[in-house]
With several copies, the nearest count.
Chain A
Amino acid sequence: MKKLLYKMPESLSGKEFTYCPGCHHGIVHRLIAEVIDELGIREKTLVVAPIGCSVFAYQFFNMDGTIAAHGRAPAVATGMKRARPDLYVFTYQGDGDLAAIGTAEIMHAANRGEKVTTIFINNAIYGMTGGQMAPTTLLGMKTTTTPYGRDAQKDGYPMHMCEFLKEAKGVAYLARTKVTTPQDVEKTKKAIKKAFLAQVKGIGFGLVEVLSTCPTNWGMDPISAMKWLEENMIPEYPLGVFIDKVGDEK
């Protein structure tokens, strides 16, 4: 007899992802869907897609959804949550969306302790628009707008959103993870679950930053991209749980 262990979660629509081969967006989508399945809140959850490669996220999740203007997902989520505090709202955002144009909105949603959850994909690049520098691009890294490599003097430094956000009092859960190994994937799932629990339990704002690859714009195959992430992004963006007011699950 075959016992089913792992399959497409119910909270995914089953529609094929539009991501490039090996792109980590897909892994994180699945994790979110698993968490929502496990919490049994699919029918009460609203997804706010960003603008970025994951602009189509509203099609991939099997729940009510919309797209926020670039960077404004936390504001959109705030509007939803304030109007319907009985529902659960999460935003899914890239590093251009969240750390560049959306800086004010994420900082203030966090500071207000808005009871929403944000999954933040840090791939150190603008994927959707073709590989321009993101605020999180590493120093020296070549992108289509830093053709000579990112130069701190001209282009500024990599931006550490978790480090900023840990100073916001409304944050209930905050962690940085990666998904380059099956073990990391499990850890990320746990973090995502806590970020949702922060909302479900009404404690406050929850955010998980997932360091991710963009094989296409990094100009690497998917496997090399993961290696590059390990070697270059981890030193700049140390993993860890920055804030945890959720406590351990029973």
Chain B
Amino acid sequence: MEKVMVKGTEAIGEAAIRAGCRHFFGYPITPQSELPEYMSKRLPEVDGVFLQTESEVATVNMLYGAACTGTRVMTSTSSPGFSLMMEGVSYMACAQLPAVFVNVVRGGPGLGDIQPAQGDYWQATKGGGHGDYKLIVLAPATVQEAVDLTVLAFDLADKYRTPTLILADGLLGQMMEPVEFPEFRDLSTLPDHSSWAMTGAKGRKPHIITSFDIDPYILEKMNLELVKKYREIEKNEVRWEEFKTEDADIVITAFGTVARIAKSVVEMARKDGLKVGLFRPITVWPFPYEPLKKLAEKVDLFFDVEMNMGQMLEDVKLAIGGEKPVAFYSRMGGVVPTPNEIYEALKKEFGRRE
């Protein structure tokens, strides 16, 4: 396939269509409105359905409905919009409904601004909605990876019957980079959901989809089933990238946009003779605890960089378990750190420890 220049948001949209998604429900919000806009134009061309919803609350519940029928379905939003979906996401996780969410994170909290940020890491990976559930959360760092992870998001959603989330940010969403798209998926080869989906109870017992049981002992069983699934995902689906970590004394931990910037920092440091590497979780849930723990054996200092007040930082610390120091550098509110400033901060931190 030939490379084309596309915006992150639109790349995700096209990738979704190629992955067999024909249904998109969404409500405009900067900096991701180009994705619903793209879908409104593109989906009718492939006999798909685009529907602009009345709100994000409606959106997530439309996803719920479409997913009940076993259809590949997607939405996209940005921070405040995703907050409004929390009830519905919790419902979908419990009802084991596959669907793909995109959160193009912007500066927060509250209305915040519309610039790139990573303040929704906790919401994506821990809390968010109520109750015990997890989303598979994929954090791309380039437009190409956004394409690849979108396809993966649909496949994992179907495989595990779970909502998955692409955690991007305004930078990745708005920028154009060259990408190569995968081939169109033959719709007839998509996973078969006939054993559970609501398709009309013809010649079979009714299929019931709920996130509810009035009897706590049965609800507990449903919970344990989820936990079992999550353990399975933790076993199979951990993804991460290591860059020049083999001989690194210092390892930067970062995800998404910050990780791409941190790559430059690694290069800068290496030029100065500093042995710096990068550890980049691709799945922020399941978080790569084990590989990071292993890395901790041979590394002197971790340097966590995020565009938030230190959210993934807790996972990094959980992985490392207090064995090695973890320094932290951050920008917030939509400010994107430059390679330079990160490098300066790293050198200072390193100097202090030397």
A contacts, CB < 8 Å to B:
13, 42-46, 48, 51, 55, 58-59, 61-72, 75-84, 87, 96, 100-101, 103-105, 108, 126, 128-130, 132-133, 135, 144-148, 154-155
Contacts and interface: CB of A to CB of B under 8 A. Distances in A.
Contacts of A130: 28, 30, 33, 37
A106 to B, nearest CB: 10
B52 A75 contact: no
Given A64-B207, A83-B65, A132-B52, A69 B201 contact: no
Given A51-B111, A76-B61, A100 B36 contact: no
A70 B28 CA distance: 11
28 contacts: A13-B206, A43-B202, A46-B200, A55-B111, A63-B200, A64-B198, A66-B65, A67-B212, A75-B57, A75-B65, A76-B68, A78-B65, A79-B23, A81-B65, A83-B73, A84-B69, A101-B27, A104-B57, A105-B57, A105-B58, A129-B29, A129-B30, A129-B33, A130-B30, A130-B37, A132-B52, A154-B49, A154-B51
B102 interface: no
B108 interface: no
B61 A68 contact: yes
A128 to B, nearest CB: 8
B209 interface: yes
A83 B65 CA distance: 8
Interface size bucket, B side? 35 or more
Given A104-B58, A154-B51, A43 B40 contact: no
Interface of B: 23, 25, 27-30, 33, 36-37, 40-41, 44, 49-59, 61-69, 71, 73, 80, 87-88, 91, 95, 111, 198-203, 206-212
Contact of A80 (B51, B65, B211): B65
A132 to B, nearest CB: 4
A145 to B, nearest CB: 4
Given A67-B211, A69-B88, A82-B49, A44 B200 contact: yes
